[in-house]
Protein backbone atom coordinates (compact mmCIF):
# COMPACT_ATOMS: atom_id res chain seq x y z
CA UNK A 1 0.00 0.00 0.00
CA UNK A 2 1.42 3.35 -0.95
CA UNK A 3 2.16 5.87 1.74
CA UNK A 4 -0.40 8.56 2.37
CA UNK A 5 0.13 12.08 3.57
CA UNK A 6 -1.32 12.74 7.05
CA UNK A 7 -1.18 16.50 6.56
CA UNK A 8 -3.13 16.26 3.33
CA UNK A 9 -5.64 13.90 4.91
CA UNK A 10 -6.15 16.11 7.93
CA UNK A 11 -6.49 19.34 5.97
CA UNK A 12 -10.13 20.11 6.47
CA UNK A 13 -10.57 23.36 4.60
CA UNK A 14 -13.42 25.67 5.52
CA UNK A 15 -15.94 23.92 7.67
CA UNK A 16 -18.70 25.72 7.10
CA UNK A 17 -41.58 -2.47 -20.32
CA UNK A 18 -40.07 -3.82 -17.00
CA UNK A 19 -38.59 -7.31 -16.81
CA UNK A 20 -40.63 -9.79 -14.84
CA UNK A 21 -39.15 -12.35 -12.42
CA UNK A 22 -37.92 -15.53 -14.04
CA UNK A 23 -40.68 -18.09 -14.56
CA UNK A 24 -43.67 -15.75 -14.41
CA UNK A 25 -44.23 -15.48 -18.16
CA UNK A 26 -45.50 -19.03 -18.75
CA UNK A 27 -48.09 -19.51 -15.99
CA UNK A 28 -51.75 -18.57 -15.82
CA UNK A 29 -53.10 -15.29 -14.42
CA UNK A 30 -54.18 -16.58 -11.00
CA UNK A 31 -51.03 -18.58 -10.44
CA UNK A 32 -49.00 -15.63 -11.77
CA UNK A 33 -50.49 -13.35 -9.11
CA UNK A 34 -49.80 -15.88 -6.36
CA UNK A 35 -46.29 -16.48 -7.62
CA UNK A 36 -45.63 -12.76 -7.86
CA UNK A 37 -46.87 -12.26 -4.30
CA UNK A 38 -44.56 -15.02 -3.08
CA UNK A 39 -41.68 -13.48 -5.01
CA UNK A 40 -42.29 -10.08 -3.43
CA UNK A 41 -42.27 -11.64 0.04
CA UNK A 42 -39.09 -13.58 -0.62
CA UNK A 43 -37.35 -10.66 -2.30
CA UNK A 44 -36.87 -9.20 1.18
CA UNK A 45 -37.36 -5.49 1.56
CA UNK A 46 -34.51 -3.47 2.95
CA UNK A 47 -34.45 -2.22 6.50
CA UNK A 48 -37.78 -0.49 5.88
CA UNK A 49 -40.54 -1.31 3.39
CA UNK A 50 -43.32 1.23 2.83
CA UNK A 51 -45.87 1.38 0.06
CA UNK A 52 -46.15 5.15 0.08
CA UNK A 53 -43.32 7.10 1.75
CA UNK A 54 -44.57 9.64 4.23
CA UNK A 55 -42.68 12.15 6.29
CA UNK A 56 -42.98 13.14 9.91
CA UNK A 57 -42.85 16.94 10.28
CA UNK A 58 -40.64 16.54 13.36
CA UNK A 59 -37.87 15.06 11.23
CA UNK A 60 -37.18 18.46 9.66
CA UNK A 61 -36.52 19.76 13.18
CA UNK A 62 -34.10 16.90 13.82
CA UNK A 63 -32.16 17.68 10.64
CA UNK A 64 -31.95 21.39 11.50
CA UNK A 65 -30.58 20.54 14.91
CA UNK A 66 -28.08 18.05 13.44
CA UNK A 67 -26.75 20.78 11.16
CA UNK A 68 -26.48 23.23 14.05
CA UNK A 69 -24.79 20.73 16.38
CA UNK A 70 -22.47 19.62 13.60
CA UNK A 71 -21.24 23.18 13.12
CA UNK A 72 -20.72 23.60 16.86
CA UNK A 73 -18.69 20.41 17.15
CA UNK A 74 -16.55 21.15 14.08
CA UNK A 75 -15.72 24.70 15.14
CA UNK A 76 -15.55 24.43 18.95
CA UNK A 77 -14.82 20.86 19.99
CA UNK A 78 -12.22 19.37 17.61
CA UNK A 79 -8.52 19.41 18.39
CA UNK A 80 -5.99 20.56 15.80
CA UNK A 81 -5.03 16.88 15.48
CA UNK A 82 -8.60 15.88 14.49
CA UNK A 83 -9.79 14.26 17.73
CA UNK A 84 -12.99 15.00 19.62
CA UNK A 85 -12.40 17.09 22.73
CA UNK A 86 -15.64 15.82 24.24
CA UNK A 87 -15.15 17.76 27.50
CA UNK A 88 -12.89 20.74 28.00
CA UNK A 89 -12.54 24.20 29.52
CA UNK A 90 -14.80 27.04 28.36
CA UNK A 91 -13.61 29.02 25.36
CA UNK A 92 -10.66 26.71 24.75
CA UNK A 93 -8.02 27.61 22.19
CA UNK A 94 -6.70 24.99 19.82
CA UNK A 95 -3.76 24.29 22.12
CA UNK A 96 -6.08 23.95 25.11
CA UNK A 97 -8.41 21.60 23.21
CA UNK A 98 -5.43 19.37 22.37
CA UNK A 99 -4.24 19.35 26.00
CA UNK A 100 -7.71 18.75 27.44
CA UNK A 101 -8.47 15.90 25.00
CA UNK A 102 -5.12 14.30 25.86
CA UNK A 103 -5.97 13.97 29.52
CA UNK A 104 -9.47 12.51 29.03
CA UNK A 105 -9.96 8.75 29.31
CA UNK A 106 -12.62 8.39 26.60
CA UNK A 107 -11.18 10.47 23.77
CA UNK A 108 -10.57 7.31 21.73
CA UNK A 109 -14.04 5.78 21.89
CA UNK A 110 -15.94 9.03 21.33
CA UNK A 111 -13.62 10.18 18.54
CA UNK A 112 -14.33 6.84 16.85
CA UNK A 113 -18.08 7.33 17.29
CA UNK A 114 -17.85 10.88 15.97
CA UNK A 115 -15.94 9.61 12.92
CA UNK A 116 -18.70 7.02 12.37
CA UNK A 117 -21.33 9.78 12.44
CA UNK A 118 -19.39 11.82 9.89
CA UNK A 119 -19.05 8.82 7.59
CA UNK A 120 -22.80 8.19 7.78
CA UNK A 121 -23.50 11.86 7.16
CA UNK A 122 -21.35 11.72 4.04
CA UNK A 123 -23.13 8.56 2.85
CA UNK A 124 -26.48 10.34 3.15
CA UNK A 125 -25.60 13.84 1.91
CA UNK A 126 -22.46 13.47 -0.23
CA UNK A 127 -21.61 16.88 1.20
CA UNK A 128 -18.03 18.11 0.51
CA UNK A 129 -17.90 19.56 4.02
CA UNK A 130 -18.73 16.12 5.45
CA UNK A 131 -15.94 14.59 3.36
CA UNK A 132 -13.46 17.18 4.62
CA UNK A 133 -14.44 16.38 8.20
CA UNK A 134 -14.12 12.64 7.51
CA UNK A 135 -10.57 13.23 6.34
CA UNK A 136 -9.83 15.27 9.44
CA UNK A 137 -11.27 12.57 11.72
CA UNK A 138 -9.24 9.91 9.91
CA UNK A 139 -6.06 11.85 10.64
CA UNK A 140 -7.05 11.97 14.32
CA UNK A 141 -7.82 8.26 14.58
CA UNK A 142 -4.54 7.47 12.84
CA UNK A 143 -2.69 9.50 15.46
CA UNK A 144 -4.25 7.39 18.23
CA UNK A 145 -2.20 4.47 16.88
CA UNK A 146 0.94 6.07 15.50
CA UNK A 147 1.51 8.20 18.61
CA UNK A 148 2.50 5.09 20.57
CA UNK A 149 5.29 4.25 18.13
CA UNK A 150 4.16 0.60 18.00
CA UNK A 151 2.17 -0.63 15.00
CA UNK A 152 -1.39 -1.51 15.97
CA UNK A 153 -1.02 -0.28 19.57
CA UNK A 154 -3.90 2.15 20.11
CA UNK A 155 -3.99 4.82 22.81
CA UNK A 156 -6.82 6.34 24.82
CA UNK A 157 -5.95 9.84 23.62
CA UNK A 158 -3.27 11.83 21.84
CA UNK A 159 -2.37 15.50 21.67
CA UNK A 160 0.11 18.14 22.76
CA UNK A 161 0.55 18.98 26.47
CA UNK A 162 0.74 22.56 27.66
CA UNK A 163 3.88 22.88 29.81
CA UNK A 164 3.05 23.40 33.46
CA UNK A 165 -0.57 22.16 33.23
CA UNK A 166 -1.39 18.88 35.01
CA UNK A 167 -1.90 15.57 33.20
CA UNK A 168 -2.58 12.00 34.41
CA UNK A 169 0.31 9.61 34.98
CA UNK A 170 -0.79 7.56 31.96
CA UNK A 171 0.23 10.37 29.58
CA UNK A 172 3.61 9.69 27.97
CA UNK A 173 5.69 11.49 25.35
CA UNK A 174 5.26 10.16 21.83
CA UNK A 175 8.20 8.76 19.86
CA UNK A 176 6.90 10.85 16.97
CA UNK A 177 8.29 13.98 18.62
CA UNK A 178 6.94 17.39 17.71
CA UNK A 179 5.61 17.91 21.23
CA UNK A 180 3.12 15.04 20.86
CA UNK A 181 2.09 12.75 23.70
CA UNK A 182 -0.40 9.93 24.16
CA UNK A 183 -2.49 8.54 27.00
CA UNK A 184 -1.70 4.87 27.61
CA UNK A 185 -3.84 2.08 29.09
CA UNK A 186 -6.49 1.73 26.34
CA UNK A 187 -9.48 -0.46 27.18
CA UNK A 188 -12.06 -2.66 25.49
CA UNK A 189 -14.31 0.34 24.97
CA UNK A 190 -11.47 2.29 23.34
CA UNK A 191 -11.03 -0.61 20.93
CA UNK A 192 -14.74 -0.88 20.13
CA UNK A 193 -15.07 2.84 19.33
CA UNK A 194 -11.90 3.07 17.25
CA UNK A 195 -12.80 -0.04 15.22
CA UNK A 196 -16.33 1.25 14.56
CA UNK A 197 -14.98 4.63 13.45
CA UNK A 198 -12.51 3.10 11.00
CA UNK A 199 -15.08 0.60 9.73
CA UNK A 200 -17.63 3.31 8.93
CA UNK A 201 -14.99 5.51 7.28
CA UNK A 202 -13.91 2.56 5.12
CA UNK A 203 -17.43 1.47 4.19
CA UNK A 204 -19.19 4.80 3.69
CA UNK A 205 -16.48 7.15 2.43
CA UNK A 206 -15.34 6.48 -1.14
CA UNK A 207 -12.12 8.43 -0.75
CA UNK A 208 -8.96 6.45 -1.64
CA UNK A 209 -6.78 8.01 1.06
CA UNK A 210 -9.38 7.60 3.80
CA UNK A 211 -9.82 3.95 2.82
CA UNK A 212 -6.06 3.44 2.70
CA UNK A 213 -5.72 4.80 6.23
CA UNK A 214 -8.66 2.68 7.43
CA UNK A 215 -7.33 -0.52 5.90
CA UNK A 216 -3.85 0.00 7.27
CA UNK A 217 -5.04 0.83 10.78
CA UNK A 218 -7.68 -1.89 11.01
CA UNK A 219 -5.21 -4.47 9.76
CA UNK A 220 -2.52 -3.46 12.25
CA UNK A 221 -4.96 -3.31 15.18
CA UNK A 222 -6.44 -6.73 14.33
CA UNK A 223 -3.05 -8.37 13.83
CA UNK A 224 -1.69 -7.13 17.15
CA UNK A 225 -4.89 -8.12 18.97
CA UNK A 226 -4.86 -11.66 17.57
CA UNK A 227 -1.14 -12.26 18.00
CA UNK A 228 -1.41 -10.91 21.55
CA UNK A 229 -3.88 -13.59 22.57
CA UNK A 230 -7.01 -11.44 22.05
CA UNK A 231 -6.09 -8.82 24.62
CA UNK A 232 -5.67 -5.06 24.27
CA UNK A 233 -2.02 -4.38 25.04
CA UNK A 234 -0.07 -1.20 25.60
CA UNK A 235 3.04 -0.43 23.58
CA UNK A 236 5.10 -2.26 26.23
CA UNK A 237 3.23 -5.49 25.42
CA UNK A 238 1.39 -5.79 28.71
CA UNK A 239 -2.39 -6.33 28.84
CA UNK A 240 -4.05 -3.10 29.92
CA UNK A 241 -6.24 -2.81 33.01
CA UNK A 242 -9.49 -3.28 31.07
CA UNK A 243 -7.98 -4.93 27.99
CA UNK A 244 -8.71 -8.61 28.51
CA UNK A 245 -11.09 -10.18 25.98
CA UNK A 246 -12.04 -13.61 27.30
CA UNK A 247 -14.52 -15.60 25.24
CA UNK A 248 -15.54 -17.66 28.26
CA UNK A 249 -16.74 -16.67 31.74
CA UNK A 250 -15.26 -19.00 34.36
CA UNK A 251 -14.26 -21.33 31.49
CA UNK A 252 -17.93 -22.35 31.14
CA UNK A 253 -20.24 -19.62 29.82
CA UNK A 254 -19.78 -17.72 26.58
CA UNK A 255 -18.95 -14.03 27.08
CA UNK A 256 -20.85 -12.32 24.28
CA UNK A 257 -19.61 -8.82 25.06
CA UNK A 258 -15.93 -9.75 24.89
CA UNK A 259 -16.51 -12.04 21.92
CA UNK A 260 -18.25 -9.26 20.00
CA UNK A 261 -15.53 -6.67 20.61
CA UNK A 262 -12.67 -9.04 19.76
CA UNK A 263 -14.36 -10.63 16.77
CA UNK A 264 -15.36 -7.25 15.33
CA UNK A 265 -11.78 -5.99 15.42
CA UNK A 266 -10.36 -9.06 13.66
CA UNK A 267 -13.19 -9.23 11.10
CA UNK A 268 -12.90 -5.54 10.19
CA UNK A 269 -9.13 -5.86 9.92
CA UNK A 270 -9.49 -8.83 7.60
CA UNK A 271 -12.17 -7.15 5.53
CA UNK A 272 -10.49 -3.81 4.92
CA UNK A 273 -6.81 -4.72 4.89
CA UNK A 274 -7.31 -7.75 2.65
CA UNK A 275 -4.37 -9.47 4.36
CA UNK A 276 -4.30 -13.25 4.10
CA UNK A 277 -2.94 -13.74 7.61
CA UNK A 278 -6.03 -12.04 9.01
CA UNK A 279 -8.30 -14.26 6.94
CA UNK A 280 -6.55 -17.19 8.63
CA UNK A 281 -6.94 -15.47 12.02
CA UNK A 282 -10.68 -14.98 11.45
CA UNK A 283 -11.06 -18.61 10.45
CA UNK A 284 -9.27 -19.73 13.60
CA UNK A 285 -11.48 -17.51 15.78
CA UNK A 286 -14.58 -19.02 14.20
CA UNK A 287 -13.20 -22.53 14.71
CA UNK A 288 -12.72 -21.62 18.36
CA UNK A 289 -16.33 -20.44 18.68
CA UNK A 290 -15.98 -16.66 18.80
CA UNK A 291 -18.77 -16.18 16.24
CA UNK A 292 -20.95 -18.64 18.20
CA UNK A 293 -20.49 -16.65 21.40
CA UNK A 294 -21.60 -13.28 20.01
CA UNK A 295 -25.27 -13.62 20.97
CA UNK A 296 -24.54 -14.75 24.56
CA UNK A 297 -25.04 -11.29 26.05
CA UNK A 298 -26.80 -12.47 29.25
CA UNK A 299 -29.18 -9.51 29.45
CA UNK A 300 -31.41 -11.52 31.81
CA UNK A 301 -28.72 -11.19 34.49
CA UNK A 302 -29.28 -7.44 34.70
CA UNK A 303 -26.93 -5.49 36.93
CA UNK A 304 -23.51 -4.86 35.45
CA UNK A 305 -24.25 -7.00 32.40
CA UNK A 306 -27.00 -4.57 31.47
CA UNK A 307 -25.33 -1.31 32.44
CA UNK A 308 -25.58 1.35 29.77
CA UNK A 309 -21.79 1.53 29.46
CA UNK A 310 -21.43 -2.20 28.78
CA UNK A 311 -24.38 -2.27 26.41
CA UNK A 312 -22.96 0.74 24.56
CA UNK A 313 -19.57 -0.81 23.83
CA UNK A 314 -21.20 -4.12 22.87
CA UNK A 315 -23.47 -2.36 20.37
CA UNK A 316 -20.54 -0.65 18.66
CA UNK A 317 -18.96 -4.06 18.05
CA UNK A 318 -22.23 -5.77 17.10
CA UNK A 319 -22.80 -3.12 14.44
CA UNK A 320 -19.39 -3.85 12.91
CA UNK A 321 -20.19 -7.57 12.79
CA UNK A 322 -23.58 -6.92 11.21
CA UNK A 323 -22.07 -4.64 8.56
CA UNK A 324 -19.04 -6.76 7.68
CA UNK A 325 -20.10 -10.40 8.00
CA UNK A 326 -22.54 -12.41 5.90
CA UNK A 327 -22.73 -15.58 7.97
CA UNK A 328 -23.07 -16.77 11.54
CA UNK A 329 -21.43 -13.75 13.16
CA UNK A 330 -23.93 -11.43 11.46
CA UNK A 331 -26.91 -13.60 12.41
CA UNK A 332 -25.79 -13.78 16.02
CA UNK A 333 -25.04 -10.06 16.15
CA UNK A 334 -28.58 -9.29 15.00
CA UNK A 335 -30.00 -11.74 17.54
CA UNK A 336 -27.96 -10.05 20.28
CA UNK A 337 -29.29 -6.66 19.24
CA UNK A 338 -32.86 -7.97 19.31
CA UNK A 339 -32.20 -9.33 22.80
CA UNK A 340 -30.81 -5.98 23.91
CA UNK A 341 -33.84 -4.24 22.44
CA UNK A 342 -36.18 -6.38 24.53
CA UNK A 343 -34.15 -5.57 27.65
CA UNK A 344 -33.75 -1.82 27.02
CA UNK A 345 -37.17 -0.84 25.68
CA UNK A 346 -38.06 2.57 27.08
CA UNK A 347 -34.49 3.51 27.96
CA UNK A 348 -34.56 6.22 25.27
CA UNK A 349 -30.97 5.41 24.45
CA UNK A 350 -30.37 6.87 21.02
CA UNK A 351 -26.99 5.21 20.52
CA UNK A 352 -28.35 1.70 20.98
CA UNK A 353 -31.37 2.37 18.79
CA UNK A 354 -29.34 3.87 15.95
CA UNK A 355 -26.83 1.00 15.97
CA UNK A 356 -29.66 -1.53 15.77
CA UNK A 357 -31.33 0.33 12.92
CA UNK A 358 -28.13 0.60 10.88
CA UNK A 359 -27.36 -3.06 11.56
CA UNK A 360 -30.66 -3.93 9.87
CA UNK A 361 -32.76 -5.11 12.84
CA UNK A 362 -36.30 -5.40 11.46
CA UNK A 363 -38.24 -6.69 14.48
CA UNK A 364 -40.03 -3.83 16.26
CA UNK A 365 -38.40 -1.39 13.85
CA UNK A 366 -41.21 1.16 13.68
CA UNK A 367 -41.32 1.37 17.49
CA UNK A 368 -37.53 1.80 17.60
CA UNK A 369 -37.70 4.64 15.08
CA UNK A 370 -40.40 6.42 17.07
CA UNK A 371 -38.52 5.97 20.35
CA UNK A 372 -35.38 7.35 18.71
CA UNK A 373 -37.29 10.31 17.28
CA UNK A 374 -38.69 11.16 20.72
CA UNK A 375 -35.26 10.68 22.28
CA UNK A 376 -33.55 13.09 19.91
CA UNK A 377 -36.30 15.66 20.33
CA UNK A 378 -36.01 15.45 24.13
CA UNK A 379 -32.21 15.36 24.40
CA UNK A 380 -31.18 18.56 26.22
CA UNK A 381 -29.30 21.01 24.02
CA UNK A 382 -27.09 22.46 26.76
CA UNK A 383 -23.32 21.99 26.56
CA UNK A 384 -22.54 23.00 30.15
CA UNK A 385 -22.92 20.48 33.00
CA UNK A 386 -24.63 21.17 36.30
CA UNK A 387 -22.59 20.98 39.50
CA UNK A 388 -23.87 20.71 43.05
CA UNK A 389 -26.84 18.43 42.34
CA UNK A 390 -27.42 15.00 43.87
CA UNK A 391 -27.70 11.92 41.59
CA UNK A 392 -30.36 9.47 42.82
CA UNK A 393 -31.11 5.92 41.60
CA UNK A 394 -34.82 5.61 40.78
CA UNK A 395 -34.99 1.96 39.71
CA UNK A 396 -36.74 2.81 36.46
CA UNK A 397 -36.01 5.09 33.47
CA UNK A 398 -36.43 8.79 34.14
CA UNK A 399 -36.99 11.46 31.45
CA UNK A 400 -33.85 12.59 29.66
CA UNK A 401 -34.11 16.14 30.89
CA UNK A 402 -33.98 14.93 34.54
CA UNK A 403 -30.93 12.69 34.14
CA UNK A 404 -27.49 13.93 35.20
CA UNK A 405 -25.78 15.77 32.37
CA UNK A 406 -23.41 13.40 30.64
CA UNK A 407 -20.70 14.02 28.09
CA UNK A 408 -22.06 11.00 26.19
CA UNK A 409 -25.68 10.37 27.11
CA UNK A 410 -25.79 6.89 25.57
CA UNK A 411 -23.24 5.63 28.12
CA UNK A 412 -25.38 6.76 31.05
CA UNK A 413 -27.75 4.46 32.95
CA UNK A 414 -31.35 5.58 32.39
CA UNK A 415 -32.58 5.31 36.01
CA UNK A 416 -30.42 8.07 37.48
CA UNK A 417 -32.04 11.42 38.27
CA UNK A 418 -30.25 14.66 39.14
CA UNK A 419 -32.01 16.16 42.14
CA UNK A 420 -31.55 19.90 42.58
CA UNK A 421 -29.71 21.29 45.58
CA UNK A 422 -29.50 24.86 46.93
CA UNK A 423 -26.01 25.43 45.50
CA UNK A 424 -26.68 23.73 42.17
CA UNK A 425 -25.34 25.79 39.26
CA UNK A 426 -23.92 25.53 35.77
CA UNK A 427 -20.26 24.58 35.79
CA UNK A 428 -18.27 27.81 35.42
CA UNK A 429 -15.19 25.95 34.12
CA UNK A 430 -16.21 23.02 31.91
CA UNK A 431 -18.22 22.43 28.74
CA UNK A 432 -18.85 19.38 26.57
CA UNK A 433 -20.08 18.41 23.10
CA UNK A 434 -23.43 17.16 21.84
CA UNK A 435 -21.71 14.82 19.41
CA UNK A 436 -23.80 12.05 20.99
CA UNK A 437 -26.76 13.58 19.13
CA UNK A 438 -24.85 13.43 15.84
CA UNK A 439 -23.98 9.77 16.40
CA UNK A 440 -27.57 8.68 16.93
CA UNK A 441 -28.99 10.92 14.20
CA UNK A 442 -26.63 10.22 11.30
CA UNK A 443 -26.44 6.47 11.89
CA UNK A 444 -30.24 6.36 11.77
CA UNK A 445 -30.24 8.45 8.60
CA UNK A 446 -27.76 6.07 6.97
CA UNK A 447 -30.22 3.30 7.91
CA UNK A 448 -32.90 5.08 5.88
CA UNK A 449 -34.82 6.53 8.84
CA UNK A 450 -35.75 10.06 10.04
CA UNK A 451 -35.43 11.59 6.56
CA UNK A 452 -37.47 14.83 6.32
CA UNK A 453 -38.94 13.71 3.00
CA UNK A 454 -39.97 10.29 4.26
CA UNK A 455 -38.48 6.80 4.54
CA UNK A 456 -35.97 5.78 1.90
CA UNK A 457 -33.69 2.82 1.23
CA UNK A 458 -30.77 2.44 3.60
CA UNK A 459 -27.61 4.20 2.50
CA UNK A 460 -25.25 1.31 3.28
CA UNK A 461 -23.24 0.89 0.07
CA UNK A 462 -21.89 -2.46 -1.14
CA UNK A 463 -18.22 -3.01 -0.34
CA UNK A 464 -15.82 -2.05 -3.11
CA UNK A 465 -14.43 -4.92 -5.23
CA UNK A 466 -11.05 -6.37 -4.39
The three-class DSSP label of residue 228 is coil
Alpha helices in 11-106 (DSSP H): 29-42, 58-76, 94-103
Query: What was the pLDDT predicted at 258?
Result: 96
Rounded to whole angstroms, the Cα distance separating 88 from 113 reads: 18
pLDDT at 305: 74
Question: Which run of H or of E encompasses 388?
Answer: none
pLDDT value of position 29: 36
- How many alpha carbons fall within 13 Å on the CB side of residue 220? 21
Distance, in Å, from the CA atom of 4 to the CA atom of 276, rounded to the nearest integer, reads 22
Give the residues across from 78 on adjacent strands: 84
Q: What is the pLDDT of residue 134?
A: 98
Q: What's the number of CA atoms in the CB half-sphere (13 Å) around residue 451?
A: 18
- The SS3 of residue 326 is coil
How many other CB atoms are found less than 10 A from the CB of residue 406? Answer: 17
CA 346 from chain centre, in angstroms, equals 21
Instruction: Judge whether 86 and 435 are in contact, CB under 8 Å.
Output: yes
**Res 463: pLDDT:** 62
| β partners of residue 171 | 183
Question: pTM to 2 decimals?
Answer: 0.89
Burial of 226 (0-12, 13-18, 19+ CB in 10 A): buried
Residue 4 buriedness (CB in 10 A; 0-12 / 13-18 / 19+): middle
Question: DSSP class of residue 28?
Answer: -
pLDDT of residue 309: 93
Q: 451-462 in b/e burial notation, b at 16+ Cβ within 10 A?
A: beeebeebbbee
Q: Going by DSSP bridges, is the β-strand pair 416-419/390-393 parallel, antiparallel, or unpaired?
A: antiparallel
Per the DSSP assignment, residues forming a β-bridge with 159 are: 181
CB-count burial class (<10 Å; 0-12, 13-18, 19+) for 42? exposed
Task: Return the pLDDT at 194.
Answer: 98
Give me the pLDDT at residue 456, please: 74
Partners of 416 in beta bridges? 393
- Reading the chain (466 residues) residue by residue, the pLDDT tens digits are 434 444 446 544 433 333 323 332 233 433 333 332 333 333 333 444 444 456 899 999 999 999 999 999 999 999 999 999 999 999 999 999 999 999 999 999 999 999 999 999 999 999 999 999 999 999 999 999 999 999 999 999 999 999 999 999 999 999 999 999 999 999 999 999 999 999 999 999 999 999 999 999 999 999 999 999 999 999 999 999 999 999 998 778 999 999 999 999 999 999 999 999 999 999 999 999 999 999 999 888 777 778 999 999 999 999 999 999 999 999 999 999 999 999 999 999 999 999 999 999 999 999 999 999 999 999 999 999 999 999 999 999 999 999 998 899 999 999 999 999 999 999 999 999 999 999 999 999 999 999 998 777 776 666 665 5
Amino acid sequence: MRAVDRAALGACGPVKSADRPCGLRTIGPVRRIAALAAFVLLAAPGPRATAAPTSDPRDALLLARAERVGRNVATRHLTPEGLLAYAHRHGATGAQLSHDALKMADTGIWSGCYAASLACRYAVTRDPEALALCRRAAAGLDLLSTATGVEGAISRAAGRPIPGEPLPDEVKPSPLGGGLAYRDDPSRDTLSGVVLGWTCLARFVDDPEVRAYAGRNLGAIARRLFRGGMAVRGPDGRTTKHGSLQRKIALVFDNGSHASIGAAAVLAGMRWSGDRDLADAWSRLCDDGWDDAVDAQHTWVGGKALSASNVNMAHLALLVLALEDTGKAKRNALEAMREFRRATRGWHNGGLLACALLAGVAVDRDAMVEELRETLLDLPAGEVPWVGGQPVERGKPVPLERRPVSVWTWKQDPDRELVAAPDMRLDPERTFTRADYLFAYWLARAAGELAPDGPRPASVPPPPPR
